[in-house]
């Protein structure tokens, strides 16, 4: 990893544990009392940052640290994280597997809060969300960290980093709401890296912008325990889940996790009555077995429903799988036909344009109701008065249209 002079300077100016404990002692506190002195810890960090700002060339503070949720305290200041099915145990000063959480002397703190590394105004279709407010713009937000280790990750430069090391700006819940209003966006979307590893930030932002009439979208791999996921569902509106393969060996070898957890997450999202779209990126020689894809489509229809939009994505060489070729378009087309034959009503192609699979078709009359070129809408034939109904036959399409 290449470390910029700014990052090196930032690391040099970070507060060391020894320095912090020395200051705690100066304040008259003891290490044993530390779990009861979280506010002192936070105040100390803020004061140190304020002092650091006065140094020539010092980096400004970005974000803040807050106590994490979904963990339990163990003996000897160890903690057990219950956010994802890894259930890792961490000793003091340990950084979590997902890079976002740190054991501060028996208190788990999240460092992924208010400090995104990516912030863009982009088409909602990029999610991909094709049956949810098509044609609108969303605010895409991404922070450092992830709890998967996908060998073909397209955002590995940030997903494999601690959030404070790649953060670009301070972006609070108030800023999120203001951006949505100023940019005329109906939604914000947590994406790029996996929002499941910073639920505290997602929930705070989503709950706040909801009071301002702004909805929150989540793009995730779904590797998260049931309760945290249900809590996220309470304040968000829609999910795009990457179902990377219908094969547990693939998940273990290529992603470092397991398939059953992801299937359960999708069922939870569906049970919580949230809009759900699925993405299956087809990687040559790894998950392009059409027989397995057929089994996946059968499971989707049986367990989630025939109205779930499914996007088949074209793989491009990235990260540690650069020796593979891009997915042949014929494979994408064959997978799409299989899904349609198995009864799925909304099947799309992703990373393939122009292509008929970019369009939304009426399941009843088969006419194109939304014509797209990649993420750009060229024509919208939905009923202008009763959004969501086909402008040709009146059929009500599944999704959220207004």
DSSP string, 264-324: HHHHHHHHTT-EEEEEEEE-TTTS--HHHHHHHHHHHHHHT-TT--EEEEEP---TT-TTS
The pLDDT score that the predictor gives to residue 402 is 85
Q: Map out the domains of the chain as residue ranges.
A: 17-110, 118-358
Q: How far apart are CA 165 and CA 162, in angstroms?
A: 5
Q: How far apart are CA 197 and CA 113, in angstroms?
A: 11
The pLDDT score that the predictor gives to residue 384 is 82
For 53-113, what is the HEC assignment?
A: HCCCCCCCCCCCCEECCCEEECHHHCEEECCCCCCCEECCCCECCCCCEEEECCEEEECCC
Is there a contact between 153 and 194 (Cβ–Cβ < 8 Å)? no
Is there a contact between 10 and 59 (Cβ–Cβ < 8 Å)? yes
The pLDDT score that the predictor gives to residue 7 is 44
Q: How far apart are CA 386 and CA 75, in angstroms?
A: 60
> If you search the block for the tokens 């194109």, which residue do you land on?
368
CA 141, 145, 147, 148 dihedral sign is positive
Give CA angle at 199 (214, 141), nearest 5°.
50
Q: How far apart are CA 347 and CA 280, in angstroms?
A: 11
Is there a contact between 96 and 90 (Cβ–Cβ < 8 Å)? yes
DSSP, collapsed to helix, strand or coil, labels residue 185 as coil
The pLDDT score that the predictor gives to residue 16 is 44
- Helix, strand, coil percentages in the chain from 3-state DSSP, rounded to 5: 35, 20, 45
DSSP, collapsed to helix, strand or coil, labels residue 216 as strand
Per-block average pLDDT, block size 10, for the chain (402 residues)? 42 43 44 44 44 50 91 97 97 96 97 96 97 97 95 92 94 96 96 97 98 98 98 98 95 92 98 98 96 98 98 93 94 98 97 95 97 95 90 96 90
Radius of gyration over alpha carbons of the chain, in Å?
Answer: 23
Is there a contact between 400 and 131 (Cβ–Cβ < 8 Å)? yes
Is there a contact between 100 and 197 (Cβ–Cβ < 8 Å)? yes
The pLDDT score that the predictor gives to residue 62 is 87
Compute the residue count for the chain: 402
Q: How far apart are CA 379 and CA 6, in angstroms?
A: 47
Pairing verdict, β 376-380 and 275-282: unpaired
Pick the closest to residue 166 from 177, 155, 154, 157 (CA basis).
157
Phi, psi of 8 (to 5 degrees): -60, -45
Report how far Cα 333 is from the mean position of its chain's Cα atoms.
27
The domain made up of 118-358 has a fold known as: TIM Barrel (3.20.20)
Q: How far apart are CA 44 and CA 225, in angstroms?
A: 33
The pLDDT score that the predictor gives to residue 220 is 98
Give CA angle at 78 (228, 115), nearest 5°.
50
């Amino acid at each position: 990893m290449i470390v910029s002079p700014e990052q090196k300077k930032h690391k040099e100016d970070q507060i060391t544990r020894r320095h912090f404990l020395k200051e705690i002692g100066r304040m008259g506190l003891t290490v044993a009392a530390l779990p009861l002195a979280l506010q002192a810890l936070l105040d100390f960090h803020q004061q140190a940052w304020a002092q650091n700002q006065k140094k020539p060339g010092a980096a400004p503070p970005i974000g803040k640290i807050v106590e994490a949720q979904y963990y339990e305290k163990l003996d000897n200041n160890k903690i057990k994280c219950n956010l994802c099915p890894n259930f890792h145990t961490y000793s003091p000063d340990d950084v979590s597997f997902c890079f976002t959480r740190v054991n501060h002397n028996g208190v788990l703190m999240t460092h992924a809060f208010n400090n995104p590394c990516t912030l863009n105004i982009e088409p909602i279709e990029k999610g991909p969300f094709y049956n949810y407010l098509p044609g609108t713009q969303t605010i895409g937000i991404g922070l450092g960290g992830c709890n998967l280790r996908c060998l073909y990750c397209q955002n590995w430069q940030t997903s494999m980093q601690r959030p404070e090391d790649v953060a670009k700006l301070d972006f609070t819940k108030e800023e999120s709401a203001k951006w949505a209003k100023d940019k005329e966006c109906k939604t914000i979307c947590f994406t790029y890296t996996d929002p499941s590893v910073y639920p505290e930030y997602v929930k705070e932002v989503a709950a706040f912008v909801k009071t301002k009439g702004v909805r929150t979208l989540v793009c995730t791999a779904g590797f998260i325990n049931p309760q945290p996921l249900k809590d996220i569902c309470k304040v968000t509106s829609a999910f795009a889940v990457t179902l990377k393969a219908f094969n547990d060996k693939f998940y273990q070898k290529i992603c470092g996790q397991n398939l059953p957890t992801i299937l359960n997450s999708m069922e939870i999202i569906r049970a919580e009555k949230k809009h759900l779209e699925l993405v299956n990126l087809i990687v040559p020689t790894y998950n392009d077995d059409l027989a397995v894809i057929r089994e996946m489509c059968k499971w989707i229809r049986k367990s989630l429903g025939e109205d779930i939009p499914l996007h088949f994505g074209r793989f491009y060489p990235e990260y540690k799988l650069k020796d593979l070729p891009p997915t042949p378009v014929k494979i994408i087309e064959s997978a799409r036909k299989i899904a349609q034959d198995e009864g799925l009503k909304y099947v799309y192609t992703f990373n393939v344009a122009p292509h008929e699979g970019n369009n939304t078709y009426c399941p009843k009359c088969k006419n194109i109701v939304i014509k797209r070129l990649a993420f750009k809408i060229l024509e919208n034939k939905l009923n202008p008065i009763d959004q969501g109904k086909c402008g040709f036959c009146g059929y009500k399409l599944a999704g959220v249209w207004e």
